[in-house]
Amino acid sequence: MAADSVPSLVQSVDWLTIAPPTITAVVGLVVLVVDLFVEERRKPLLGALAVAGLIAAMATLLPLRKGDRSTFCLTDGTEACSYTADHFTLAIQFLVLGGALLTAVLSLTYTRKDLPAGEFWFLLLSSAAGAALLPASRDLATLVVALEVASLPAFALVGLRRGDRLSSEAALKFFLSSVTATAVTLLGVSFVYAATGTLHLTQVAAGLENVPGQLDTLAKAGVALTLVGFAFKTAAVPFHFWVPDTYVGAPLPVAGYLSVVGKAVGFTGLILVTVIAFPAYADIWGPALAVLAALTMTAGNVAALRQSATRAWSAVRLLAWSSVGQAGYLLVPIAAAAYSSDDQIGATVAYALMYAVVNLGAFSVAALVARNHPQNRIADYRGLYAARPAAALAMGFFLLCLAGLPPGIIGLFAKVTVFSSAVDAGLGWLAVVMGVNVVIALYYYLQWTALLFRAPHGAVSGAEVEPVRRRTPAPVTVAIALTAVGGVVLSGYPQLVLRFAADTLF
C-alpha cells in the first residue's frame, strides 16, 4: 500500500521527440568509428556521411511541426518536463542544424588536405547535437549539459590545425573564456537551486515568485550570475574580447559556425532562463540586458569601422566585429520582453534566422577568396566582380542584408522588427542607440560592397589585367548558392519568417 503511494520515478522516452539531437550524435559516433577502418583515399566519404546525417536530423523536424510534444517528464502530476519540442525549439533546431549542414558542406574541401577528417566530423556533429538539444531543455541541469556539449567540441575545432600558432592561440582564448562562463553559470544555477529547491524552469519561475525574505539576496545573485554566464556565450560586451582572435585563428568554416550556431546557443539559453525561469526578476535582467545591448552593438560596430583594409585577416576581423554588433541587436527584443506584456522574443528568432543565412554566405565567399589570398585582407576583395562575378554579387547581397538595405529586404525587415520591439517596450533611448549604430554599420558594409565592383589594382594604372579564373570547388559553390537562394527567398517573402516568429513561438 505504501509502495503504491510513492510516485514512480520511471520516465518514458519519446524517441521521435528527441530524434534531431539523437540522430546527430549517433552519426557523429558512427563517423568516428568508421574513420578507424577507412583507408586515407576514402576519407571524403566521412564528409558525405556527416552531411547525410544532418539532413536526416533536419528531416525529423517535419513530424514534430505541431510543436506539442514533450518527454522526460516528472511523474508527480506537476507536468514539468526536461525536454519540450515546441515551436520555439523547432525553429532554433532548424537554425542550428541548418547552420551545421552549411558548415559541413563548406568544410568538405578543407578536410581533404587541411584538417583531419574523422576528428573534424565527429567534433562538428557532437557540437551540433548539443546545440540541437539546448533549445528543447526545460530544466537548468539539461540546459548546462547541452551548453557544454555544444561548446567543448568547438574548442577542439578551433585548434584543429596542428602546428598553427594562430589556431592554438585562438583555441586557448576561446577555452579560457568559455570555461569562465561555465563556472559563473554553474555558480548562478546553484544559487537559484538553493533558493527554489528545483531545476525545472517553470517550477523555478513559480519558486522565485515566492522566495522567502532570507533567500531573496541569494536568488538575485543566482539570477545575476546566470545572466553573466550567458553573456559570455553570446559575446556581449564586456565579455567579447575572445571573438576576433578566435575567428581569425579558426578554419573559416568553423569561424562561420561559431558566428551563427555558437551565437544561437548563447541566445537560446538566455531566452529560456529570462523569459521562462526568471520573469519574477525582470526588473533585474531587463535593464541589465538593455545596457548590454547598447554597449555590445556600439563596441562591435565602432571596432568594425576601424578595421584597416590592408591589415592581414582584416576581412575576417570585420566579420567578427560585425557579429558582435549584430549580437547587440539580438539582445534588444530579449531586454524588451521585461518591459512589455507582448511577446517580443519572436523578433530575436526572426533576426537570428536572417543573420544565420547571410553571415554563413559571407563566410562562404571569404573561404573562396582565401584560396587565392590566404591572409584574407579586405583589399583582396577589390575587383572580385571582374574575376568571379557571381561570388561578388552574392557577397554584395549578403553585406547589404547585414546592413539592412535593399535588395536585402529581409535584413531591413528584421531590423525594423527589432527596432519596433524596443519602441513598443518604452525603450526609446535603446531604439535611438540602435538607429545610430545602424548608420555606423552602413559605412563599413557599403565600403566593402563598393570595393567588390571597383577595377582591380592593375587596371587603375592603365595596364590590362586578365582576371584570374580558377575552378571553384563544388562544395564552396553549393554553400554560396544555398545561402544566396535562401537570402533571396527570405527577402522576397519576409513575412514567412516574421509572422511565424511573432505568432507561434510561445
pLDDT at 193: 93
- Please give the pLDDT value at position 429: 95
Q: Give the mean pLDDT of the chain.
A: 88
Going by the DSSP 8-state scheme, the letter that residue 6 receives in this structure is: S
The pLDDT confidence band at residue 224, using thresholds 50, 70 and 90, is very high
Rounded to an integer, the average pLDDT of 362-382 is 91
Dihedral (Cα; 57, 59, 62, 68), 10-degree rounding: -10
* Other Cβ atoms within 10 Å of 261 Cβ, number: 27
Res 334 pLDDT > 50 = yes
Integer Cα distance of 24 and 294 in angstroms: 36
Phi/psi of residue 102, each to 5°?
-65, -40
Most confident of 211-215, 280-284, 468-472: 280-284
User: In the structure, what pLDDT confidence band is assigned to residue 458 with cuts at 50, 70 and 90?
Assistant: low
Phi/psi region, residue 197 (left: phi>0; alpha: psi -120 to 50; beta: rest), is left
Band the pLDDT of 77: cuts 50, 70, 90.
low
Q: How confident is the model at residue 348 (pLDDT cuts 50, 70, 90)?
A: confident
CB 192 within 8 A of CB 284: no
Q: For residues 77 and 423, which has the higher predicted lDDT (pLDDT)?
A: 423
pLDDT digits (tens, 9 = 90+) for 38-60: 888 888 899 999 999 999 999 99
Confidence label for 401 from pLDDT (cuts 50, 70 and 90)? very high
Check whether 310 has a pLDDT greater than 70. yes
DSSP letters for 374-418: TT--GGGGTTHHHH-HHHHHHHHHHHHHHHT-TT-HHHHHHHHHH
Domain map of the chain by residue range? 11-457+470-503
Average of per-residue pLDDT across 210-217 = 86
For position 465, what pLDDT does the model report?
47
- At residue 464 the predicted structure's pLDDT band, cuts being 50, 70 and 90, is very low
Region 463-482: what's the mean pLDDT? 74
3-state secondary structure 157-204: HHCCCCCCHHHHHHHHHHHHHHHHHHHHHHHHHHHHHHHHCCCEHHHH
Regarding predicted confidence, which is higher, 498 or 157? 157
Tell me what the mean pLDDT of segment 290-308 comes to: 94
Could you give the angle at the alpha carbon of 418 between the alpha carbons of 393 and 129, nearest 5°? 75
